Amino acid sequence: MFTAMLGEAWHAMGANRMRTFLTMLGMMIGVGAVVMMMAIGEGAQQSIKKSISSMGSNLFIVLSGPPNTAGARSATGNALSLNVKDADAIAELDGVAGVAPTTMGSAQVIYAGNNWNTSIIGTTPSYMEIRDWVIDDGYVFSNSDMRSATRVALIGKTVADNLFGDDTDPVGKTIRIKQSPFLVVGVLNPKGQSLDGRDQDDTIIVPLTTAQRKLFGNQVPGSVRMMMVQAESDKAMPQAEEDINNLLRQRHNIREGSDSDFSVRNLTAIANTAAETTRTMALLLGAIASISLLVGGIGIMNIMLVSVTERTREIGIRMAIGARERDILLQFLLEAFVISIVGCVIGILIGVGGAMLVKSFTGTDAVVTTQSITLAFAVAASVGIFFGFYPARKAARLNPIEALRYQ
């Protein structure tokens, strides 16, 4: 019986092909828009998650400054208010897994006939563990290199590509940074862009002491511009942040009520805020696109009401030969459902194709997930049943005698 009703529904749709297509069009556009918007939103979320994971987990950045000298405040990071001994003291705190004092700058790097301007990070070996940064080739410099201020370097993928190309293995080669020779001991595994859009692979990492003594100089021995601190767990971060602030204020002899000459930033909180913002935007995009589904559902109801009016005499004949009220109800519900599902399938194909085009032409990440397709399919089916119920109920409650008299 169900198969016969399905065939009848398909026949009724084929009798008015243009009208059926226009009815489906609203559903096709709605589902396509939902799938494409959710794909773009999911792509943005995955991009944010990738950036967060590339930073490392449970991280703080402790920046030097801003000090207040005679009422004049300088920018954060410009003053040299932090030093290596501060980092050693922080490493002893409960809940702190590791600390990497860091100094940064930029320089022109030369190998053979190639040169490249990149950022230079002077830090300790613990930096690699804190940033969860592995070596693609070679090895990490050691604490012995730190003590000796050895001229060794770890280079990022972007630097390696621009200096050595694809044919030369950088490990074991000598590059020149500010005219000083450095032995490349390792190539960093690619990390991609950071949350602020900076290319994390466009960098060179050298021992902190080497950077201080042989590249950037250091007016105050042992001073650093920033420190990266990793907490043992996410739960330990609030207490660790409070302990870091208290410890540094005590070490720097800062009186109660006075401004600190350093600042502590919770990178995990910043990253989670960015992720939550992206998630909200993805939901907003999906909600806006869902309005098209509502319009498509109204279109289905409108056409089904027209169909009931046109087929009033047919309904009367069916009732006269024994069709029950629920049979008529099921027949028209099935027609609305078929229109909705066929439009949904075509809309999914349009949405997937649109997402791929957006990714190809704009470079924006667009990820089509099974969840988004399933959700679009379920919503489209629900819309078809919901908006098809009223016309179907109206058809089922027609008076058989009045329906037979209808011209």
Per-residue pLDDT of 354-400, as tens digits, reads: 888 888 887 777 888 888 788 877 877 787 778 777 777 777 777 77
> Whole-angstrom Cα distance, residue 63 to residue 60?
10
- Taking each helix axis from N to C end, the angle separating 325-362 and 17-55, rounded to the nearest 10 degrees, works out to 50
Flag the least confident range among 5-19, 132-146, 190-204, 297-311: 5-19
Over the stretch 241-256, which tens digit does the pLDDT of each residue have?
899 999 999 998 888 8
Rounded to an integer, the average pLDDT of 282-308 is: 76
Backbone angles phi, psi at 168, to 5 degrees: -115, 135
SS3 359: helix
pLDDT at 7: 63
What are the b/e assignments for 199-232, b being 16+ CB within 10 Å?
Answer: bbbbbbbbbbbbbbebbbebeeebbbbbbbbbbe
Displacement of CA 179 from its chain's centroid (Å): 40
pLDDT at 109: 93
Residue 300: exposure state from Cβ atoms within 10 A (0-12, 13-18, ≥19): buried
> pLDDT higher for 377 or 86?
86
> Whole-angstrom Cα distance, residue 82 to residue 292?
57
> Whole-angstrom Cα distance, residue 213 to residue 225?
15
> Whole-angstrom Cα distance, residue 379 to residue 290?
9
* Joined tokens for residue 380: 């489209």
Residue 173: exposure state from Cβ atoms within 10 A (0-12, 13-18, ≥19): middle
* pTM score, whole prediction: 0.63
* Residue 270 scores a pLDDT above 90: no
Which segments of 33-80 are extended strands (E)? 59-64, 68-69, 72-73
What percent of the chain has a predicted confidence (pLDDT) above 90? 23
Flag the least confident range among 13-17, 80-84, 227-231, 359-363: 13-17
pLDDT at 355: 86
Flag the least confident range among 86-95, 164-173, 180-189, 368-377: 368-377
Contact 121, 226 (CB under 8 A): no
Rounded to an integer, the average pLDDT of 28-32 is: 84
Task: Name, in order, each residue with C-beta under 8 angstroms of 254's C-beta and a sequence gap of 6 or more.
Answer: 260, 261
pLDDT at 255: 86
Over the stretch 96-143, which tens digit does the pLDDT of each residue have?
999 999 998 899 999 988 899 999 999 999 999 888 888 988 999 999
> Whole-angstrom Cα distance, residue 276 to residue 283?
11
pLDDT tier for residue 181 given thresholds of 50, 70 and 90:
very high
Contact 174, 183 (CB under 8 A): yes
pLDDT tier for residue 233 given thresholds of 50, 70 and 90:
confident
pLDDT tier for residue 4 given thresholds of 50, 70 and 90:
low
The residues that bridge with 184 in the sheet, in sequence order, are 153
pLDDT at 298: 80
pLDDT tier for residue 79 given thresholds of 50, 70 and 90:
low
Element of type H or E holding 107: strand 96-111
Q: What is the overall mean pLDDT for the chain?
A: 81
Neighbouring C-beta atoms of residue 22, cutoff 10 Å: 12
Rounded to an integer, the average pLDDT of 211-220 is: 80
Contact 246, 254 (CB under 8 A): no
* Joined tokens for residue 229: 């601190």
Preceding omega of 221 cis (within 30 degrees of 0): no
pLDDT at 154: 95
Pairing status of strand 180-188 against strand 174-177: antiparallel
Flag the least confident range among 59-73, 170-184, 279-293: 59-73
pLDDT at 72: 44
What are the b/e assignments for 84-111, b being 16+ CB within 10 Å?
Answer: bebbebbbebebbbbbbbbbbeebebbb
pLDDT at 162: 92
